[in-house]
Structure 1
Amino acid sequence: MAYILGILLFALGIGITIALHEAGHMLTARSFGMWVRRYYIGFGPKIWAKKKGRTEYGFAALPVGGFCDIAGMTANDEFLTDEEEPYAMYKKPAWQRVLVMAAGILVNIVLGFSILFCVAVTTGLPDVHADVRPKVGEVVCSADQIDESTYEDCTGTGPAGAAGVEPGDIIVALDGEELADFNALREAVIAKPGETVTLTVERDGQPRDFEVHLDTVKRLTTDGQTVEAGSIGLTNAPLDIVKKYNAATAVPATADYSWYLAKSTVDAIIHMPEKVPGIVASIFGHNRADDSPMSVVGASRVGGELVENSLWSSFFMMLASLNYFLALFNLIPLPPFDGGHIAVIAYEKIRDALRRARGLAAKGPADYTRLMPVTYVMAAILMTFGALVIIADVVNPIRLFG
């Protein structure tokens, strides 16, 4: 039941996010005297609609986005009526048109920041400046494995402790190979039973090398076979990077984490095309990568898992991350994204400035019909990509637990 509740709540969160994004466009356009024809959540066939004033509000069948139809967004608006003409968007100053197109993006940024701020003062946010390198928790003796969860008794400090490694040391490298985490150390050590290795650690800010003679112990493989493996006798110190903040300190902490999310989101957008082969392969049974893009279907399912496991802070942090993704994705300077419209307006201003420098008159709004091929191509790419991700989220979804 909690899983279903989580799915519904995250889907609702996505719906609210889309609604507020489009409301940002709509309300800003109205404030500048533009005519807003339609405000819709979803695409495709109309499910429900109601006309109020000049605007038709409605829901469409495909809940994968929304739109705000402003009369005269371009000078080539073939549906512009005589009644709408005086309120056409293209007739307004460039700064007003830019603000209208940027309003949805700004709403997502403010919403994402607000969600993270609330998390920071309630359960806490990860400290992006925390040292997350593998740290020694304890030096322990080496013991043979009896079954999946039982080990024989042992005494002593173990190989690493005997060599001089201490709790609190930062693990840097093994035999000159850098180690990203304790799993990397474990895998490297298992393959070297009885060997002498050089373990590089950082202590008090200084690197130190220790010659460690690994023990040979018995370990069970996944199929129940007993094999000889190396043991170094170290445990990992738990990372404590989540900090709770008060209302004052939460502002810079939220800004830091927002900047971290923004950089991660930009990197994910840049590398999104190279994820397509993996998405297609996952549809036909291959393993789905943990960093694979998700649709609203997949994100809602993950939201359900988080609620089912009472991870509410992660639930809201994922919703905040979604808002930053929508903001940055819409900044792409190509139609039909908001950034594409802003780029055209910028082009108009630069073009007219150059014309004035040559003593020529300004040309006015750009001819958007020349960009229609680009718009159609981008729309086709987005629809195809979205369909593939939705199919993958149905047949081979990303699962956080089990």
Structure 2
Amino acid sequence: MSEVLLWVVGIAAAAVGVAVSIALHEVGHLLPAKRFGIKVTQYMVGFGPTLFSRRRGETEYGVKAIPLGGYVRMIGMFPPGPDGRVKASSTGRWALMAEEARQASSVEVAPGEEHRTFTSKPVWQRIVVMFGGPFVNLVLALVLTAIAVSAIGQPGLVPRLSAVSQCVLPAGSTATTCAPGDPLAPGAAAGLRPGDEVVQFDGRPVQSWNQLSAAIRDHGGQAVDLVVVREGQRVPLTVTPVLTRREAVDADGRPTGGTREVGFLGVSPSIAVVRTGLDEVPGVVGQQVQTVAGIVVRLPQRLYDVAQAAFGTAARDPEGPIGIVGIGRLAGEANALPAVIPGDELAERTSRLVSLLAGLNVALFVFNLIPLLPFDGGHIAGALWEVVKKGIFRLRRRPDPGPVDVAKAMPVAYGVSILLVGMSVLLLYADIVRPVTLNR
């Protein structure tokens, strides 16, 4: 299959995956809303002109032209004003924005349907309805990650030796062969051979290359018993890693900067399909959630960095925010990359695309929980504040204050919406002129 065709397939797969993720996100709002008796008038995937729609019962289901989101329209999303009317008690600019939101919310409430509005429902039901969308994205992220890393697997380093050095070379040496007088490497001295699979080190089972590498580094100058599987037979050996200065790395083998004295054996791992246990999937997704949350917290700085890259000469941060065009490009590039392990390119490419879609759903989960309108988190925050406010009034033996008037936050919602449009335009431009690419 040609590289161009692989790019097209990858982009198409990403587009379908994005659309399905958005559609299921909205289903996460739709189902609990209907279950709690809230009247839902529209379920739409996309924004702008309607391409297709069909009415079933009281709900119109459809697809719109701009595939950048979706929405579920529920009646009575904002409560009446404090006096029970939708009209503002003030003529100020912010009050008029709140009034417009209340009026738009009340238009679809027919006489006798007051009990079917969103704000008429108990707080816990409103939270369930608004959290339903992000929750679906979280579940999708877990399922897709499980498929990618547990069912299919991904290329990774395994403790089966691909090479055994014959000598110890100084850190930073560019030599490719041993010279007379170079000290013998401890792995070769102990009798290790390429193809040996290390299954035990210092009396402990070896589960991964990172675990073995860390153990070797921690046992410099110490005689250690290990067991390898060679041609189907378990072979016990004793090795003594030598102390040598090497680049400092963390527990996952990532460089941390500088050098330190560590144990050195002189062996290299092999690359094979590595399948992560299902019990580790929540931790993998949790780490992704933490990473995306960090991006959200530092979003102004991250967007400034994107602008510096787009309009200047700074490098684009591969861990920074990207737009829908960037996601499509990464999907196409990931699908076109050659397989690391020959023999099953389809499985490897599938794992890459599924992992990309899992990361997208993590981003949808985190971003939709931002506690500001128009995000789902804005309504959740309003409901939680209502619980706190009613609790305070109850302690003070004051009358129930009623629902929190989320409509008062509409000026913030408009401001956030403007920022989102600006962010989308910036990311679109940056994804075109200075795209994030995968390392080849």
Short-chain TM bin: 0.7 to 0.9
Of residues 64, 72, 81 in structure 1, which corresponds to 2:109? 81
1:376 Cα offset (Å): 1.0
Seen in structure 2, the aligned counterparts of structure 1 residues 380 and 304 have a Cα distance that, compared at 3 Å, is same
1-side partners of 2:431 and 2:396: how far apart?
Answer: 55
Normalising by structure 2, report the TM-score.
0.68
Match of 1:214 in 2: none
Seen in structure 2, the aligned counterparts of structure 1 residues 397 and 30 have a Cα distance that, compared at 3 Å, is same
1-side partners of 2:392 and 2:385: how far apart?
Answer: 11
Paired residue type of 1:397 = P
Match of 1:201 in 2: 262
Match of 2:295 in 1: 268
* SS, match of residue 336 in structure 1: coil
Q: Deviations over 1:92-118 (max 9, x none)?
A: 111111100010111111111111222
Q: How many residues align?
A: 346
* SS, match of residue 292 in structure 1: coil
1:318 has 2:322 as partner:
no
Match of 1:244 in 2: 275
* SS, match of residue 364 in structure 1: coil
Paired residue type of 1:122 = A
Contact 2:295 2:302 in 1 (8 A): no
Q: Deviations over 1:330-379 (max 9, x none)?
A: 11111111111011011111111211222211121122231111111111
Aligned pairs (5 A) from 1:365-376: 365-376=403-414
Structure 1: 5+ residue runs without aligned partners?
Answer: 144-149, 189-197, 204-233
Contact 2:40 2:73 in 1 (8 A): yes
Match of 1:7 in 2: 11
Match of 1:341 in 2: 379
Match of 2:33 in 1: 29
Q: Deviations over 1:59-93 (max 9, x none)?
A: 22321111111111111324233154331111111
Match of 2:217 in 1: 170
Q: Deviations over 1:192-227 (max 9, x none)?
A: xxxxxx950047xxxxxxxxxxxxxxxxxxxxxxxx
Q: Deviations over 1:234-291 (max 9, x none)?
A: 978348696425xxx52x1212212222222222222222111221133236332222
Aligned pairs (5 A) from 1:243-322: 243-244=274-275, 249-250=277-278, 252-284=279-311, 286=313, 287-309=315-337, 310=345, 311-322=349-360
1-side partners of 2:326 and 2:50: how far apart?
Answer: 24
Match of 1:390 in 2: 428
Seen in structure 2, the aligned counterparts of structure 1 residues 394 and 360 have a Cα distance that, compared at 3 Å, is same
Paired residue type of 1:275 = R
2-side partners of 1:184 and 1:99: how far apart?
Answer: 43
Seen in structure 2, the aligned counterparts of structure 1 residues 30 and 142 have a Cα distance that, compared at 3 Å, is same
1:292 Cα offset (Å): 2.6
Query: Higher mean Cα deviation, 259-268 or 318-327?
Result: 259-268
Seen in structure 2, the aligned counterparts of structure 1 residues 93 and 308 have a Cα distance that, compared at 3 Å, is same
Match of 2:143 in 1: 114
Seen in structure 2, the aligned counterparts of structure 1 residues 285 and 62 have a Cα distance that, compared at 3 Å, is farther
Contact 2:306 2:316 in 1 (8 A): yes
1:315 Cα offset (Å): 1.6
* SS, match of residue 170 in structure 1: helix
2-side partners of 1:157 and 1:109: how far apart?
Answer: 58
Identity of aligned residues (%): 30
1:51 Cα offset (Å): 2.5
Of residues 54, 59, 66 in structure 2, which corresponds to 1:62? 66
Paired residue type of 1:254 = V
1:160 Cα offset (Å): 8.9
1:312 Cα offset (Å): 2.1
1:318 Cα offset (Å): 1.6
Match of 1:123 in 2: 152
2-side partners of 1:387 and 1:281: how far apart?
Answer: 15
1:91 has 2:138 as partner:
no
Match of 1:18 in 2: 22
* SS, match of residue 58 in structure 1: strand
2-side partners of 1:182 and 1:91: how far apart?
Answer: 54
Seen in structure 2, the aligned counterparts of structure 1 residues 202 and 369 have a Cα distance that, compared at 3 Å, is same
Paired residue type of 2:262 = V
1:380 has 2:418 as partner:
yes
Normalising by structure 1, report the TM-score.
0.74
Contact 2:295 2:320 in 1 (8 A): no
Seen in structure 2, the aligned counterparts of structure 1 residues 184 and 364 have a Cα distance that, compared at 3 Å, is closer
1-side partners of 2:77 and 2:181: how far apart?
Answer: 73
Contact 2:10 2:335 in 1 (8 A): yes
Seen in structure 2, the aligned counterparts of structure 1 residues 241 and 28 have a Cα distance that, compared at 3 Å, is farther
Contact 2:75 2:106 in 1 (8 A): no
Contact 1:285 1:396 in 2 (8 A): no
1-side partners of 2:436 and 2:126: how far apart?
Answer: 40
Contact 2:46 2:66 in 1 (8 A): yes
Contact 2:166 2:178 in 1 (8 A): no
Query: Higher mean Cα deviation, 305-314 or 150-159?
Result: 150-159
Contact 1:21 1:104 in 2 (8 A): yes
* SS, match of residue 290 in structure 1: coil
Paired residue type of 2:131 = A
Seen in structure 2, the aligned counterparts of structure 1 residues 109 and 152 have a Cα distance that, compared at 3 Å, is closer
2-side partners of 1:58 and 1:31: how far apart?
Answer: 20
* SS, match of residue 14 in structure 2: helix
2-side partners of 1:369 and 1:175: how far apart?
Answer: 63
1:124 Cα offset (Å): 2.6
